[in-house]
Structure 1
Amino acid sequence: MDVLAMRRQGMTYVEIADETGYHPATISKWVREGGPPAGRTVGDTDRVIDEKWSARLIELLVGNKDLLATSLFEIIAAEGFCGSYPTVARWVRSVRGPRFKRADQASVPIETGPGEEAQFDFADCSAWAQRVGLVPVLWCFGMILSWSRWRLWWFTTSTDRQHTFEGTVRFFEAVGGVPKISRTDRMGVLGQSQGRRFKLHPPALEFARHHGTEIRACQAGDAKRKGKVERPFRVLGESFLAELVVTGVPSDLDELNRQAQMWIDERAHRRIHRSTGVTPSQRFVAEHRFLGPLPP
């Protein structure tokens, strides 16, 4: 990676950033200083990731090349690794390079008040389930409180109306209340698009009335409006399901759902959320009193 040569060829800082995966400001600094800083030299005896752990990480990546640094760290930490997550992340970056390219434009988050909204959707996990020999068809129903980021995943084999209602009820019962708005896609099992409008079918209207929530569909093509449920689905595939391939695939859906809840409690609810600055569990304690009551 010779950023000075790229610059001499007439490439802009933004173009070099797109090519290398680093921020344009970092590229500008390197050009001013005559190139990237020299890598820190660490003796073999001082390395946290020594030959043993390096070999283990390479073994984990064989056949699971997209396994995230977070997952790799959790796996080897359980096996006795005493180093930090940043150490593993740097090792992974040195092997695979930066994970993301710079975004084309900044995204402004949409924030809602406590108890105001939950988002729900399904993620298709069938390809993973077929690859590991679990079931031919697998869906994950996901729902999340938009303010606290407290979430639920429920694996099932159908996305029909009854399973959509069941997943939603499971979430309401898990959080012990009902949000004012339940936001989702324009699901055909819930209603019908009429231009920009989305008209709910009578069963969906009755379900919403009975539980004291408003089912509100996003506008067509507005996936970012329910990004709080979509982002965890990426974590679902890149971390939770990918880790199961290494640690052991559950024998049935009941065990898969049990492990999913344990994973969420330990790896999501109890860890500081990068957007809110606190754990979802802590924020949920404050949000719970703003939720509506469960129906009798």
Structure 2
Amino acid sequence: MLGSGSIIMLHELKAKGKSIRAIAKETGLSRNTVRKYLRANGIPQRKPHPKRGSKLDPYKDTIQQMINSGIFNCEVIYERIKEEGYTGGRTILRDYVRPFRPPKQIPAVRRYETNPGQQTQVDWGEYTYIDEETGEVRKLYIFVMVLGYSRAIYVEFTNRCNVHTFICCLIHGFEYFGGVTDIVLTDRMKTVILGVDENNRPIWNATFKDFATTLGFVPRVCRARRPQTKGKVESGIGFVKDNFLPGRRFTDYGDLNRQAIEWCDRKNKRIHGTTGERPIDRLKEENLRVVKNFVSD
């Protein structure tokens, strides 16, 4: 497109009586171009190019449904539309979702890093859902276990959270990781600690204490009113609720646990945002202690 100075020059040449052929020869422009600018009233406007369609367009209804349901996690949305045939990337999806995302303010907490094989953090969460067949509101408990060094994660759903279920979940987690850490850090839950004595020493749940002695790990609980002491597993529970559960469909909690293990396998192979490495690779550096001859129910 010619600038205003060039267009004025064309009109000046025309005013001098020069033909379109002569102007085209002098300026090096084609006769059609010269004719177009001389006929135009003012500076011709460039015709807008038709807007190209986005690979995201066929899936925007699905995306909007998820956003309207409170799902803003792009990884979750990406996996859903990928199942429907989406072949585009994550960047255009993030750009599309960003204006709909509510502001989030998270206070900064200094994170405590651990050495390989040193610590496991475990905690419970709750998951409430509506049974599609009966319409009843049901509740499951989420057991989340995170290795402090590698950030490898293990998730299991149960219909109770008593000490026997807790121990079974711990065994399943240790089996999944391939060994036991030196320390197991938990919240101040009754399945672990009943209180403190006059010297402020923990009064351990006897069943849990026997289990810890058998496997050879040191039980520790986070300080009162300081849940961020076990920040890795706290963020792990949020990760499960934000990344695994939204839109999840399952027939029973056995099916849900099979899906959870598959999800853990995938997430342990991703690049972790904090370490910059894959948990499955750092897991090899944990050098966990292998405990033989213990079997979960």
TM range (shorter): 0.7 to 0.9
Matching of residue 161 in structure 1 with residue 163 in structure 2: yes
Q: Mark the CA change 1:43 to 1:112 in structure 2 (over 3 Å): closer, same or farther.
A: farther
Answer yes or no: is the 8 Å Cα contact 2:185–2:219 preserved in 1.
yes
Show CA shifts across 1:136-184 (max 9, x none).
Answer: 3310111111111111111111111100111111111111211000000
Tell me the residue number matched to 2:116: 114
Structure 1-normalised TM-score?
Answer: 0.75
- CA drift of 1:82 comes to 2.2
SS at match of 1:138: strand
Gaps of 5+ in 2: 1-47
Identity of aligned residues (%): 28
Show CA shifts across 1:178-197 (max 9, x none).
Answer: 10000001111222222754
Answer yes or no: is the 8 Å Cα contact 2:74–2:94 preserved in 1.
yes
Aligned partners of 1:207 and 1:142: how far apart in 2? Answer: 19
Aligned partners of 1:43 and 1:76: how far apart in 2? Answer: 26
Q: Mark the CA change 1:98 to 1:43 in structure 2 (over 3 Å): closer, same or farther.
A: farther
Q: Mark the CA change 1:177 to 1:194 in structure 2 (over 3 Å): closer, same or farther.
A: same
Matching of residue 56 in structure 1 with residue 62 in structure 2: yes
SS at match of 1:215: strand
Matching of residue 237 in structure 1 with residue 241 in structure 2: yes
Tell me the residue number matched to 2:290: 293
Note the aligned Cα RMSD (angstroms): 2.3
Matching of residue 66 in structure 1 with residue 67 in structure 2: no
1:78 to 70, 77, 83: 83
Show CA shifts across 1:239-293 (max 9, x none).
Answer: 211131xxxx211111110001111212x11110011111111111221x2x122
Query: Which residue identity does 1:57 align to in structure 2?
Result: I
SS at match of 1:119: strand
Query: Could you say which structure has the higher helix fraction?
Result: 1
Gaps of 5+ in 1: 1-40
Residue-pair matches, total: 243
Aligned partners of 2:114 and 2:70: how far apart in 1? Answer: 37
Tell me the residue number matched to 2:202: 198
Aligned partners of 1:58 and 1:137: how far apart in 2? Answer: 27
Aligned partners of 1:281 and 1:87: how far apart in 2? Answer: 29
Q: Mark the CA change 1:134 to 1:152 in structure 2 (over 3 Å): closer, same or farther.
A: farther
Query: Which residue identity does 1:124 align to in structure 2?
Result: E
- CA drift of 1:42 comes to 9.7
1:133-144 matched pairs, under 5 angstroms: 136-144=138-146
Query: Which residue identity does 2:52 align to in structure 1?
Result: T
Aligned partners of 2:205 and 2:82: how far apart in 1? Answer: 50
- CA drift of 1:86 comes to 1.9
Q: Mark the CA change 1:188 to 1:56 in structure 2 (over 3 Å): closer, same or farther.
A: closer
Query: Which residue identity does 1:254 align to in structure 2?
Result: G
Matching of residue 44 in structure 1 with residue 51 in structure 2: yes
Q: Mark the CA change 1:100 to 1:131 in structure 2 (over 3 Å): closer, same or farther.
A: farther
Answer yes or no: is the 8 Å Cα contact 1:148–1:283 preserved in 2.
yes
- CA drift of 1:59 comes to 3.3
Q: Mark the CA change 1:47 to 1:206 in structure 2 (over 3 Å): closer, same or farther.
A: same
More displaced, 217-226 or 131-140? 131-140
- CA drift of 1:214 comes to 0.9
Query: Which residue identity does 1:73 align to in structure 2?
Result: Y
